[in-house]
Amino acid sequence: MSAKHGLGRGLSALIRDTPAPAAPAAGGDPKDSVLRVDVTRIVPSPWQPRRHFDREALQELAESIKAHGVLEPLLVRKLEDGYELIAGERRLRAAGEAGLTQIPVLVMEATDHQALELALIENLQREDLNVIEEAEGYRVLADKFSLTQDEIAQRVNKARASVANALRLLGLPDEVKKFVTEGLLTSGHAKVLLGLSIPEEQCKLAEHVIRDGLSVRDLERVVARLKRVPRKKREPADDMPSSHVTYLADKLHQHFGTSVHIQPCRTLGNGRKAKGQLAIDFYSNDDLDRILELLGLTEK
């Protein structure tokens, strides 16, 4: 069996400089490097981008495996005491549910970088990932392996705009991303929700979509209407209650023996701060010297 067949149609063409399958271990078939190994010796991939597995679809696959076996080998890489899965987690889970003790695998030598790319691309080719899982895979490629969006797009055979749009969805609140992962919201709904800047509004509107079955077009109209509504301008407000200002002014008046005026800081309508002021009255140079002495500023 060739590497291309083991990876799925076209997958090997999308990964540049991927090593060839390793030579078969003892007992393997020298023709094609496909081995049969114990299911318990295969550990899940830490690079698996897929997080959500449909229970009903998994059960259907398990029934098919019971009847026909695993028709396509899993892609793995060798560990010191077993194998790490690169691609085929649905088949591995379903094989376990079907009661299989051994499963066919195709052994490859792959770096962490290549293992992530292979796992991501295999799922993308099968259209097994939702858009949030897809975006999380892209983020790992960007953060862990320092790939640009252009480089990611080339490796997964996608337009750069598709990669960029998927990554933007990771800025949505966790609750909204969970709705997308569970299939309650489409990627189209999620992209429209990005038009709102307040997370609480995004969550509330997502729940509205699910509850009332709004289409993407319906949601676009709602969002456009919300963005047209002028927001009430926030009035400037003192940062200190007037009663406390009066209390402090009285205490300072008693201490200095003269009038003291306090203007507290203010929070303006745009959120910025306006400075406060503290003014102490004096009526002569001698009066000023007296106040300075109380402040501990008399020259010695």
Tens of pLDDT along the chain (300 residues)?
333 333 333 333 333 333 334 444 434 443 347 788 888 888 887 766 666 666 777 788 888 888 888 878 888 888 888 888 888 878 888 888 888 888 889 888 888 777 777 777 766 655 567 888 888 888 888 887 788 999 888 887 889 998 999 999 999 999 999 999 888 999 999 999 999 988 999 999 999 999 999 999 999 999 998 888 666 666 788 888 888 889 898 999 999 899 999 999 888 777 788 888 999 999 999 888 898 888 888 765
Known catalytic membership, residue 89: yes
Tokens of 234: 């926030």
Q: Which of 63, 89, 133, 175 is catalytic?
A: 89
Q: Please, where in the chain does CATH 3.90.1530.30 lie? A: 3-129
Model confidence over 153-170: pLDDT tens digits? 888 788 999 899 999 999
Closest CA to 12 of 62, 75, 56: 75
Distance CA 65, CA 62 (A): 5
- Total number of residues shown for the chain: 300
Instruction: Pick 3-129's CATH classification: 3.20.20.80, 3.90.1530.30, 3.90.1420.10, 3.30.230.10.
Output: 3.90.1530.30
Give the C-alpha distances (Å, rounded to integers) separating 184 from 175, 190, 215. Answer: 11, 11, 12
